[in-house]
Amino acid sequence: MPSSDSTQTDLLIVGAGPAGLMLAAWACQYDIRFRIIDNKATRVGTGHADGLASRTLEIFDSFGLVHDVLKDAYRINEICSWNPDPDRPDWIKRTQRAKGQPHGLSRYPQSILNQGSIEQILLDHVKAKAGVEVERNTSPQTLDVDEAVCDDEDAHPIVLTLKTHDDGQGEHHTTVNAKYVVGCDGAHSWVRRQLGIAMEGDVTNRQFGVMDIVALTNFPDVRQSCVIHSNSGSVMTVPREGRLLRLYVQFAETKQGEPFDRKSVTSQAILEKARPMFEPYTLDFRICDWQSVYTIGQRVAKQFSYRNRVFLCGDAVHTHSPTMGQGMNVSMQDAYNLGWKLGSVIEGTAKREILSTYNDERRPVAQELIDLDRRMSDFYSQGPSENSSKYAAFRDSFSWFLSGVSVAYGSSSLVAAVPDDHSDKKDVVAGTALRNGANGAVHLNGNSNTIEGRPDLATGLSVGRRIAPCNIVCQAEANVVLLSDKLPSIGRWRVVVFAGDLTLSAQWNAVEELGCTLDGICQMYSRSPKDSHSVIEVILIHSGTHDAFTLLDLHDIYHPDNGDEGWDYWKVYSDDAAALSVGEQSTAYKQYGVDEKAGCVAVLRPDQHVAYVGSIAEDEALSRFFAGILRPAERSTNGTQPAAS
């Protein structure tokens, strides 16, 4: 149990913004001690970040929190482009009205909710789940790493002194020894500076004024997200929850070296700047919720971690312009990538080596983001153009990346290598080269444990990418469920057995044999005989109807015995087209490109990314895959019950 009096902790999170809180959300899922500190007295109130990409909503869903987010969020359904009216160029005219994002990209549209609400949802969750609250008014003063013991799994090599303000009544200092530290402390990251990690990139002289107002206007698209390129400058609008409207208004670019008076950018100044851009429509407000000014710049840290003991997430390692609504998303996605790795290493179920994949997986994403941001901010600054009048096509080419769903991690101990001839061509079309690493290398991390799978057996899955949602039918209850709902963020690896056609006896036998192997694997890494404590969970999806056979005839691993609570009836699903036909989407086997007779096996990481695809017969490869990353239960130094604090 965490305690502020403890001098030892497994994990210290510095900064309780969206990234730090997302990390805490993961930490709740593990039996570890963690603390989270923040130098501010309260969470963010109004304003700040507000864009929520599809993948971020999927992540909230995986923690059971998406309903809390969506009930107040604004959803971007359409994006409207406005450009100078050819007949009267000082007036604007709508040139395009387009869908917010391509159909089928995610079940969640891009949505908008203020950062404070997001933080509150995570704060409530972490408190309810683990009883942990943010230690506020607290900032680290010194950070020392005992280099000699960094590779000792049980060591607490990081020593920090913390200073806490007591509501004006002075301050007190404490010392913490931590196994791991994560700096989620923003663009001016104190943690990053202690580590001497440099930021690479530039800051421009382009300034945007931004404000959240309740708009009084006759502009027809006030409740749509708009990109307005007028002859008086550019403005971007994003409606928000309640009646708020956010405006990003371009200010003149200052000359090199010329100072920019940020204080002059009042809400009234932003209004005055924006008004001619909205002509012939009126614009006014009486309520302004928040106002700020941004200087456009793109910078990425040289590295995202230090000796796999100290890690950096979010703005601490990448800064860019706010207009794409990406900041909060990529920051939380950084933390989402890191959290389960740290949790399982600290618990002792995974090998420490997997931690190096954080830098290898997330730094290329940040680099891609920065490259894209440069293009987008040039676009906003260049004035009316071919791109701006047909904004949808321009934006669509980025939307797979912006939504976060197409991010694919390169091969490593955690992602099987993809034979060259099976590399996914679609990613390039979708505007991101991430599938093969941002630098074009196929193997970002040449881990010797890397095994090659058979991605050709599931042509609709992309190894390294998150699995797309798909409807399946519960064998026992006959209800249609989303596969994603069976993959919550609780720290478990999943082996999804696409069992093919189980009415064929050879196939049935192969799936039974695989069941024996999986049973062995699950037992090897399980801390308890109870299935619900296993690090690996087996899910079976067959291609027949949901009453094609009797569930209990399958190997027990597909319906584990829970003693007094009987069999587990919620592991076996069918791709039953008839049961799905009530207005549902395409069936799983079609969507994932899996042969309906022969099936295949897919391994999903705790973050729902596809780690491996192979044939049902190659059960030995599965054993090797897990042997490369997990620690057998008997060799655990930590077990499921860490030493009490």
Catalytic residues: 50, 240, 248, 322
Q: How far is CA 33 from CA 9, 184, 225, 275, 586, in A?
A: 6, 18, 43, 53, 44
SS (H, E, C) 202-269: EEEEEEEEEEEEEEEECCCCCCCEEEEEECCEEEEEEECCCCCEEEEEECCCCCCCCCCCHHHCCHHH
Q: Which of 358, 377, 273 is nearest to 317 (CA)?
A: 358
Q: Give min distance, CB of 287 to its own copies, in A.
A: 6
Q: Is 544 in the site for its own copies (CB under 8 A)?
A: no
Q: What share of the chain is helix, strand, coil (3-state, %, to 5)?
A: 35, 30, 40
Q: What is the DSSP letter of 67?
A: H
Q: Using an 8 Å Cβ cutoff, are 121 and 113 in contact?
A: no
CB of 294 to its own copies, least distance (A): 26
Q: Nearer Cβ to its own copies, position 111 or 333?
A: 111
Shortest distance in whole angstroms from residue 532 CB to its own copies: 12
Q: Interacting stretch for its own copies, rule CB under 8 A, among 85-93, 148-156, 297-305, 582-590?
A: 582-590
Binding part of the chain for its own copies, among 174-182, 355-363, 437-445, 562-570 by CB under 8 A, reads 562-570
- Contact pick of 12, 59, 211, 215 for its own copies (by CB under 8 A): 215
Which residue type occupies 9? T
| 224 makes contact with its own copies (CB under 8 A) | yes
Nearest partner of 493 among 643, 636, 389, 629, judged by Cα = 629
The one-letter amino acid at 439: N
Q: Does position 583 bind its own copies by CB under 8 A?
A: yes
Q: If binding is defined by CB under 8 A, does position 532 make contact with its own copies?
A: no
**From residue 241 to residue 280, what is the string marking binding to its own copies with x (rule CB under 8 A)?**
--x-------------------------------------
Contact region for its own copies (CB under 8 A) — 85-93, 204-212, 315-323, 559-567?
559-567
Q: Which of 151, 175, 198, 569 binds its own copies (CB under 8 A)?
A: 569
Q: What is the DSSP string of 499-524?
A: EE-TTSHHHHHHHHHHHHHHHHHHHH
CB of 258 to its own copies, least distance (A): 38
Closest distance to its own copies from the beta carbon of 70 (Å): 10
205 binds its own copies (CB under 8 A): no
Q: Should residue 351 be labelled a site residue for its own copies when binding is judged by CB under 8 A?
A: no
Q: Quick one: CA dihedral 290, 96, 53, 367, positive or negative?
A: negative
Asked whether 76 and 112 are in contact (CB, 8 A), the reply is yes
Compute CA 253 distance to the chain's CA centroid, rounded to the nearest angstrom.
33
> Is position 128 an interface residue for its own copies (rule: CB under 8 A)?
no
Cα torsion 39, 42, 48, 52: sign: positive
Interface stretch with its own copies, choices 38-46, 335-343, 404-412, 561-569 (CB under 8 A)? 561-569
Could you tell me how far CA 288 lies from the centroid of its own chain? 31
Residue 17 or 100: the one with the smaller Cβ distance to its own copies is 100
The answer to the question of residue 566 lying near its own copies (CB under 8 A) is yes
Q: How far is it, in rounded angstroms, from Cα 498 to Cα 542? A: 6
Q: Binder to its own copies among 198, 393, 552, 617 (CB under 8 A)? A: 552
The binder of its own copies chosen from 261, 420, 565, 634 (CB under 8 A): 565
Least separation in angstroms between CB 562 and its own copies: 8
CA distance 516 to 521: 9
- State yes or no: residue 214 binds its own copies (CB under 8 A): yes
> Is there binding between residue 218 and its own copies (CB under 8 A)?
yes
Alpha helices (H) in 279-433, listed in sequence order: 327-347, 356-381, 386-389, 391-403, 426-429
Residues found near its own copies in the complex (CB under 8 A)? 67, 74-75, 77-78, 97, 103, 214-218, 220, 222-224, 239, 243, 286-287, 474, 476-480, 547, 550-552, 564-566, 569, 582-583, 585
